[in-house]
Amino acid sequence: MKVFITKRIPEDGIRMLKEAGLEIFIPEHENLSHEEWLNYCTSTDLILSVGSEFRYDKDFFNACPDVKAIALYSVGFDHVDVKEAVTRKVPVGNTPDVLSKATSDIAFLLMQSVARRASYNFEKVKSGNWGDFDPLHALGQELYGKTLGIFGLGRIGMEMAKKSKAAFGMEIIYHNRSHSEEAEKELEAEYVSFDELIAKSDVLSIHANFKADQKELFNASVFEKMKSNAIFINTARGGFHHQKDLYDALAEHKIWGAGLDVTNPEPIFKEDPILELSNVCVLPHIGSATIEARTGMAKVAAENLIAFSKGEPMPACVNPEVYS
């Protein structure tokens, strides 16, 4: 079988695919146009998809009827029409677990960076504007004993909760589709309604898988109900928050600060006024950007395609009903 890898991945994954006897194709340049991407997809059996700029929807499956399986180089799969993939009997794999710690590290980093206005103060140093000591200028806040609210307490959210509890003794509340017995037992986490989550959180961190009906769920009406000292963290998907509403809430001091590894749109426009605020830290979607995590993702993606090529179920499959 022929595998189209949309961008180069760590060599471990490529080696595994070759050793399994699969034919590998990686384009010479990685900034593919939609037409180039689709053309490559029409002439392959399997796809290892890196990034989320292209959608695997009904139009895609109509144009590429010979694609037999898709392995995503990500945990998130919001750029895939999973129902359509099931209809076409195309299994879709993802890469859970291997990036949970790395991504939660970024959420933890953003929480601290925003709390202590690290980005703003770093810019002062770079511009030579260190200035004289001012006891009241650009003060941060401490996180000890504060309440961390987690929206989507899965693997990544659990890692974030553990770090925050251990480092700062934070109280953990969460809103999920279901209760987490592990979190409630290990961290004394409390399950709350969505309204309680936004009203009680000193730090609100998003770790859920994004779905279309959650588009811009965190908007003006939500920010209005949050604490004035609240820090908003999003390392999941930019689509969860309304960018202008977030800017307004920050500029008008309705909430205290925001840390973003994802933006809406993404990439963020360099002219976005949110980048000028002193209470914001924005990173370019680097949640999984460690050697260990990216290598692990390559291995899991390869394992998914190798299993399929052997007639076996993908070990990490987002639509296992295709095997029913």
Show which residues are catalytic.
237, 266, 285
Which of these, 259, 266, 264, 265, lies nearest to 282 by C-alpha position? 259
Distance CA 127, CA 33 (A): 38
What phi and psi, each to the nearest 5 degrees, are found at residue 144?
A: -60, 125
CA dihedral over 23, 28, 32, 33, signed as positive or negative: negative
Quote the CA–CA distance of 249 and 247 in Å, as a whole number.
Answer: 5
The dihedral region occupied by 134, where left means phi > 0, alpha psi between -120 and 50, and beta the remainder, is: beta
Cα angle for residues 132, 281, 140 (degrees, 5° grid) = 45
- Whole-angstrom distance, CA of residue 318 vs CA of residue 304: 11
Burial class (CB in 10 A: 0-12, 13-18, 19+), 189: buried
Q: What share of the chain is helix, strand, coil (3-state, %, to 5)?
A: 40, 15, 45
Q: Is residue 94 within 8 Å of 76, Cβ to Cβ?
A: yes
Q: What are the DSSP E strand ranges found in 198-308?
A: 203-206, 231-234, 257-260, 280-282
CB 218 within 8 A of CB 240: yes
| Tally of CB atoms within 10 A around 113 | 22
